[in-house]
């Protein structure tokens, strides 16, 4: 006995092997794919909390705040100024700078520039660590 498969749609070379296998199973068994569960606002809230927690930890480890409370203040100040991809902007750097170096206006300009660049590197590294930590748990 020979079995043949009837294709319900023409073959598409851009279709992945997984998609072709799913289509074949659907055709052979008459099944349907389960749609992904819709995202809810609670999913977004949980992801934001995980990201903020990871970001606080990363700020604590890389930006040398005075304490955990200051690391939390930095994250809360920076968070609204992150770009849509979760990367640091100049406004986010300024928000962090105002908390981490409140007396910077009294320093020489060269020292301010040097410390601001250092803070930018630390904040960028902390964001990268937080983004990676959240992506690993997604």
- Give pLDDT tens digits for 14-73: 777 777 777 777 777 766 666 665 567 777 788 888 989 999 999 999 998 999 999 999
- Pick the more confident residue, 14 or 100: 100
- The encoded tokens of residue 10 equal 């023409």
Q: Is the pTM of this model over 0.85?
A: no
Do 127 and 59 meet the contact criterion of CB atoms below 8 Å apart? no
- Pick the more confident residue, 10 or 5: 10
Task: Give me the DSSP letters along 108-122.
Answer: -HHHHHHHHHHHHHH
- Pick the more confident residue, 2 or 37: 37
Confidence class of residue 109 from pLDDT cuts 50, 70 and 90?
very high
Mean pLDDT of 106-120: 93
Task: Give me the pLDDT at residue 84, please.
Answer: 84
Task: Give me the pLDDT at residue 137, please.
Answer: 60
CA distances from 5 to 8, 9, 11, 26, 68 (A): 9, 12, 13, 11, 63
């Amino acid at each position: 006995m020979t079995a043949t498969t009837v294709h319900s749609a023409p073959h598409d070379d851009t279709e992945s092997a997984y998609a072709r296998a799913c289509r074949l199973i659907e055709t052979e068994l008459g099944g349907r794919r389960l749609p992904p569960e819709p995202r809810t606002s609670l999913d977004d809230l949980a992801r934001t909390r995980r990201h903020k927690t990871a970001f606080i930890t990363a700020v604590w480890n890389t930006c040398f705040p005075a304490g955990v409370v200051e690391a939390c203040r930095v994250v809360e100040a920076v968070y609204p100024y992150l770009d849509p991809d979760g990367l640091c902007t100049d406004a986010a750097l300024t928000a962090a700078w105002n908390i981490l170096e409140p007396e910077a206006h009294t320093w020489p300009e060269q020292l301010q520039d040097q410390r601001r660049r250092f803070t930018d590197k630390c904040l960028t590294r902390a964001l990268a660590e937080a983004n990676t930590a959240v992506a690993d748990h997604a």
